[in-house]
Amino acid sequence: MDGHWEGYDSIGGSVPLDLVNTVSWRRDPARREDRLSDPERLSEWVVLVGAGSERLEISEDVLEAVKAFRETLYRVLVSDPPDVTALRKTLLAAYRHAELAPSLPLRWTVPLKDGAALPHFLALSAEDLLRSGDRERIRECEGPGCGWVFTDHTRNRSRRWCSSSDCGNRARAKRHYDKSRN
């Protein structure tokens, strides 16, 4: 992989949140960067976040489906109240391609045998996340313009930034600068 993924960290705490975070500076149009710029980048991302062990052959149609799902998932995650009906069509398609795992508890899976399965795999991964107790811990970074999402695993649910060394450091530096000017 070249430097395309430099500055990208899997900080979301799950594959669906890391998918949302493939857009850097989501809330700052001047700096916004979509790291899923072509099918090869999506294939690299699958391996980077551990969703698959090898690169997949991904078509333009699959790339566009994944990007559309990513944006829908982002809206569901940051809206209050969330419009979960936006996920209905994608989830129904995923279940048509899913297999039932041969053990309890019941669990539907979509094996990543090829790139065409990726949107379905991601949809079921997102459903697992949204069904879990972690849903209440999902936050959006408070850094101006950032827009990354993460699962807050702190005991008192006080995490504010995607990364303490990135947006958190910028916030502390700005606070220090503002203090020293007064």
List the domain boundaries for the chain.
15-181
Residue 16 burial class via C-beta count within 10 angstroms: exposed 0-12, middle 13-18, buried 19 and up: buried
Cα→Cα distances 68→3, 86, 149, Å:
25, 11, 17
Query: pLDDT tens per residue, the chain (182 residues)?
Result: 566 788 787 888 899 999 999 999 999 999 999 999 999 999 999 999 999 888 999 999 999 999 999 999 999 999 988 899 999 999 999 999 999 989 998 999 999 999 999 999 999 999 999 998 788 899 999 999 999 999 999 999 888 888 766 685 665 665 545 667 76
The whole-model pTM stands at: 0.89
All residues at 6 or more sequence positions from 106 whose CB lies less than 8 Å from its CB, including other chains: 100
Q: H or E segment at 150? A: strand 149-151
- Using alpha carbons, list the distances in angstroms from residue 108 to 37, 97, 133, 181: 30, 10, 19, 57
Tokens 């993924």, residue located: 5
- Given 3.40.640.10, 1.10.10.10, 3.90.1170.50, 1.10.3300.10, which CATH number is that of 15-181? 1.10.3300.10
